[in-house]
Structure formats: structure tokens, C-alpha cells
Chains A and B, each alone.
Chain A
């Protein structure tokens, strides 16, 4: 929560004493000004959650597009019987990042949010659908991405265009499914 929001809340609290004082003695409901302010704050909080979802979607989209381009390069190299090991390892890394909802630096941010008690999908985590802090990628999707990443990585040692095509097909389908659900 940024300082501006904290200042707003603090100001509201200062004002609240006066608001209560102006209210008729027989009224026990919370003064409407405070409810309105809280309502406003709710917009901000919920908006932040939506922003988080959109940001993670952007991370996934960027990663996926990068991966798709890399897949094209790797497939072309294999087609031309050239060494594709560097491209395949890069592709494996990108697909693993799809599974991890970003790279290690993103994971560190996610951990910071968890440290602060923020779980985007708290209910989903309880049900075992999401790993702690994950926003879009379900556990099942994560496993699909990570399994594919390993198999693509192994292709760097024993290249096989058909296997690459098949693994990329699974990655694409999984990604499409996640995005469709959004």
C-alpha cells in the first residue's frame, strides 16, 4: 500500500471524530462519509487486484510470444539440420517461466507479497488449485509447462523435430486454455 493511500486513511481517521460528533445521538450506524470513503478504498484495493492479474497476464503473454519466436527458430534450425541446442535451451527456460509465472525475480516479488499476507487466489490455494501467490497459472498448468520444458531441454542433447512439435503443441494448448479462462 503506498504512502498516498496511507495518508488518505489517516486523514479519514482524523475526520471521523468530527463526523461522529455531528451525528444525532440516537443514530448508531457508521457515518455515510466514512462508508463512502471505505467504498472508495475498496475500489482501489479491488482495482489493485485486477491490475495484478493484468500484469501477470502481460508477463505470461510476453513470455509466450518470446517462446513462440524461439520455437520457430529452433524448429527452423532442426529442419535445416543445424545445431539448435542454444535455441532449445532458451525455449525450455521460457516455457519453465510460463509454469513459474515469470522468472526468479518475479518469484521474489511474489514471495514478498506472500510475506505481507497477500494471496491472490487464497481460496484456490486452499483447494489445492493454485500454488501460493500464483495468479493465473494453476498447479495442473504449471506441471504441464514444467514437464514440457524439461522434455524440450533434453532435445538440446538429442534433437527430434517431431518431439519438439508435439511438446510445443502442448505448451500452446495449455497457454491458450489459461488465457481463454481469463
Chain B
């Protein structure tokens, strides 16, 4: 019997055990708003008050990035512009906040050179694209994109033009991935609609909504923009959308995109959330070629076969079966959709039986995070909400608000969710028109905190002060020193449960999470096994890893001894 066969047999036995996973007891969640005391004060601009064009209301992303590699998560915020009528009155600066490590951040935007005020910002992805060990920032724009190469001295340089990545248009979500497994990172960029700044400035609310109010037109009635794929070719990126099989022939209204190994065959596939169109699932066929299988894999439409208004994404194993499930946020008065994985990149819509759909029906949802917020061993779900039509405030009879509370849904360990927003602490009781939602342990206390952006307001920083089970934070460091091991798959087995997570350059709605993976262990005092499958397919295994520690796993190279080099701190 080969070692692979033995592994497969072991996994099969483990899954058999997990079918009878006990439900986890309800937890005490508590999130507290600390943005102001931390010093997060940048107002994120979003067009006109009336949101006359969809660009006014789309919002922008945010990223946790330890740009100076001091061990503390720093924060990057993407910003839009402010309009009045048909005029641009303020071009918002993006912001980089350095985390001092004492709960206070300092604005280092100017010093770092990452303001990008000349562009209306959209999304962000983080990865070490040049392999020098320093995390870089890719900022998508309504206009040319920006690739900020991290010089490693606290400053960045925009190299998008020389790298071939400017690609003007309304760019939205972006995901780095090593599509062809040649050792360097390629890039997928989703795009929304074809529109010029003139179109935006001249837009007026013309769409009759529910027969009572005129609102911004779209996305129907506006031409969809095709997504793009850029392959790394030597020193530059070259557009390789068509030869890679990634041609967006449906001209979908693309928002979020994520790269994960949905069929667990060792290479990264792509999932794209489209607004009002079928979502895409591009299966990686190897060699950098993809096939779109969304419709027949069950991942493109809802249970009724209807296309929904896909906005944001969260990917994680919600039911402990070792498979990556997909959660897609959608428009108000519609379920956000949980696509439960069936294996081999097949999915079924489990929104109703899981409880996720009914809980998410009323709000208009954007960012989403699957994280174990109480460290009890399963992934809970946080959702950022906010409407795009401020005009609804003038019609209370509609029962829809522009500013909406965000949602926290607790997982019972079997993939069944309960709305616990009401007992999630004061941080979840505020109402804004929220967009990005990003997860990271910014205060290094072993639990997962949240950053939320809102239209025309400073962001919220929701510190997690809730009760926690045991936990393990796993940082996968590449030989270059970068923690952005995009595509690395970490499997933690503890207390009879096996949890699979992957590192991605981006997530949620046009944003990027902490690349250090959090694993709740519940009452288990150790992880029986931690296994890291690196992007190149090599595997590091660690047994009997004590709980409640930040585990650093460094990929072994030919220069290091065979096996893992593991540091604990």
C-alpha cells in the first residue's frame, strides 16, 4: 500500500467518525467597537448622497497586511471619491494604518506612498508577487489598477504599468493564484460593468423600484464588463484570459472572486460571484487551463435554478466533512446562498436547511467571513449588510432600511446556523451601509477580530471580547519569509474533528483577510495533527501540537534539512 493510499484510507475513517459530530453548545459572543480609540478615522467616500450610479454605492475593500513584518497586522483601506451632482469634489486617499501593537494605529499612508488618490478605488488583494518575502498590494480601481510593490523599507512603488496590470475599466475583485503551478503567481481580475467617468457623473436615478421610488439604474440595462486573467510570464504579467479558458462569454457583472482547491486535486480553481448573473466556477484542468463548470456543478444558481445578485464570498468547511463550502452574499429580499460541497467540486444549495438563507433574507449583503469566532471548533458566519438605495428611507412602508445591522450566525458544528446577532455584543448592534468585512487577529490575543467598512463613514473595528475555546493560529511561511503562501492548505485534526482551511490572497467583498489561519479547538488541549500542503504540493506534518499558541510553520527547502522546520512563539 502506498503512503497516499494509507492517507486516503485514514481520511475515510476519519470522515466516518465525523458524521456523528456532536453539536456544539451556544457560545457567548461579544464584539466591541474600538475603531475610534484605535485611531481609525479615515472616512471612506462613496459618490453622491443619492447614489445615482452603481459606482456610488458599490463601496470598496480593505486588507489586513503586516506590511513591515513586525508581527502585528496593519490595515489598508481602499477609498472612493465624493461627488456632488455631476462634479468630483473630493478624491479620497486610500489609507495604510500601521499597527503599533498596543491597540493604536498610526496613519503611514503618505510615508508609504500608497494613497492612490487619482483613482476611484474598488478592491484589494495581497500577495508576495515577486517572491522577495514582503507582501505587496494589488488595488483594483474604477480606472487603471495599481500594483504596489513592497520595497521592504516601509515604502511601496506602483509597478502596475511596467508589470502589465493597469487594465483600465471597472475592476472589482482580484485573486492571485499559481494557476499553472510554475512557482509564480498569476492574477484573475473580475470586472463589473462598462462605464466611463462621464457615465457616472451624468447618471440620474431612473429605475422605477417597487413602483414608489426612482433609484440608480443597473446592473441590468448596463453592459457587463468581461473579467481578465493575467499570467506571469518572466518579469511581466501578460493577459491570458482566452488561452486559459477563462473567457467571460456571459459578460457577467463580476464582483468577488476566490481561488481555492475546490476539487482537492492539488491545484487552485476559481469561483466568481456575479451580480444578477450565474456565478462561475472555473475548474483548473492542469497546465494553466480552466473549464467553466458552474452550471452543472450546482455552484452557479440557487436551488430554484435562478441567478442571484452575487456580491461577496466566503469559503470554508462549515460542516466538518473536509470539503470547502462556498457562501455567496446576495441582494435584499433574497437568500444569501450556502453552496454545500458534495466533493469533486460539486455543490448543492443548502441555504434553507442550514438556516443561512432565512437569516439573510431581508438585508442586502456584501462582505462575508467564515471564522471560528468562539473557537469551539466550527466556522461561524459574519455578514456585512447595507442597501444601495438611500431613497428607501423615504418609504418606511417598504420595511427596508438603507443602514442595516450586520449579522452574526453561529454554527452548531454540523453546518446549521442560528442568528445570534442580538447577543453578539455592541459591535453588532450598530447600523450602517456596510460593505467590506475582513477577519484578522489584530491584537494578537488568539481570537478573530473584524474590520467593517461603511459608505461615507469611517470603518468599524470590532474587537472580539467573547469567550473562547482552545485555539491554534497557524502561520505558513514560505522560504522567502512571506506568510502569503497562497494556496497552502492546512488541515488540523483535534478532538475527533478535522478542519480544512486554505490561504488566499483575498476574500469577502473585494478584500483580504489575515493570512494566518485560526483554528478553534474547543475543549481539545492539543491538535493531534497539523498538516500543511504547500502550493508546490509538498507536505509538512506536525503531531501533538499543544493548543493556544501561534504556530509558525516554515516550508522546508533543499537548503534546510528534510522535513519541517517549525518554530513556536
A→B interface (CB under 8 Å): 89, 92-93, 95-97, 99-100, 103-105, 107-108, 111-112, 114-115, 131-132, 139, 142-143, 146, 149-150, 152-154, 157
Contacts and interface: CB of A to CB of B under 8 A. Distances in A.
B344 interface: yes
Nearest to A132: B220
Given A115-B222, A157-B344, A99 B295 contact: yes
B224 A111 contact: yes
A111 B293 contact: no
A4 B251 CA distance: 28
Closest 9 pairs between A and B when the two form their complex, measured CB to CB: A96-B295, A149-B296, A104-B250, A104-B249, A96-B296, A92-B296, A143-B305, A142-B305, A150-B298
Contact of B277 (A93, A107, A153): A107
A120 to B, nearest CB: 15
B297 A150 contact: yes
B201 interface: no
Nearest to A105: B249
Contacts of B278: 100, 107
A93 B304 contact: no
Given A146-B301, A146-B305, 17 more contacts: A92-B296, A95-B296, A96-B296, A100-B295, A103-B249, A104-B249, A104-B250, A107-B277, A115-B220, A115-B221, A131-B305, A132-B220, A139-B304, A143-B304, A152-B296, A153-B346, A154-B342
11 contacts: A100-B278, A100-B295, A104-B248, A108-B250, A114-B220, A115-B220, A115-B221, A131-B305, A139-B306, A149-B295, A153-B296
A131 B296 contact: no
Interface in B167-193: none
A99 B305 contact: yes
* Interface of A: prevailing SS: helix
A139 B305 contact: yes
B292 interface: yes
Contacts of B223: 112, 115
B486 to A, nearest CB: 27
A115 B221 CA distance: 4
B295 A111 contact: no
B296 A146 contact: yes
A96 B250 CA distance: 15
Nearest to B342: A154
Interface string B286-308: 00000011011110010011110
Nearest to A138: B305
B154 to A, nearest CB: 45
A71 B92 CA distance: 57
Given A99-B305, A157-B344, A104 B292 contact: yes
Contact of B296 (A104, A112, A150): A150
Contacts of B306: 131, 139
B243 to A, nearest CB: 17
Contact of A111 (B251, B301, B344, B346): B251
B279 to A, nearest CB: 12
Nearest to A107: B250
A153 B221 contact: no
A107 B274 CA distance: 13
Contacts of A111: 220, 224, 250-251, 277
A92 B296 CA distance: 6
A141 to B, nearest CB: 9
Contacts of B293: 89, 93, 153
B269 to A, nearest CB: 15
Contacts of B295: 93, 96-97, 99-100, 146, 149
B302 to A, nearest CB: 10
Scoring A92, A103, A114, A153 by chain B CB atoms within 10 A of each residue's CB, the highest score goes to A153
A152 B346 CA distance: 11
A36 to B, nearest CB: 34
Contacts of B496: none
Contacts of B292: 104
A140 to B, nearest CB: 9
Contacts of A152: 296
A93 B300 CA distance: 13
B26 interface: no
Nearest to B346: A154
A170 to B, nearest CB: 14
A58 B505 CA distance: 44
A103 B296 CA distance: 12
A100 B301 CA distance: 11
Contacts of B103: none
Contacts of B305: 99, 131, 139, 142-143, 146
B343 interface: yes
Contacts of A89: 293, 296
A150 B251 contact: no
A154 B251 CA distance: 27
Nearest to A154: B346
A91 B224 CA distance: 29
Nearest to B295: A96
A93 B250 contact: no
Interface string B233-275: 0000000000000001111000000000000000000000000
A56 B485 CA distance: 47
A152 B342 CA distance: 14
A108 B251 contact: yes
A146 B298 CA distance: 8
Nearest to B222: A115
Contacts of A153: 293, 296-297, 346
Interface in B203-244: 220-224
B165 to A, nearest CB: 25
A71 B64 CA distance: 49
Contact of A93 (B224, B251, B296, B346): B296
Contacts of A114: 220-221
A115 to B, nearest CB: 5
Nearest to B263: A157
B296 A108 contact: no
Contacts of B249: 103-105, 107-108
Contacts of A112: 223
Nearest to A156: B344
A114 B277 CA distance: 12
Nearest to A116: B221
Interface string B337-374: 00000111010100000000000000000000000000
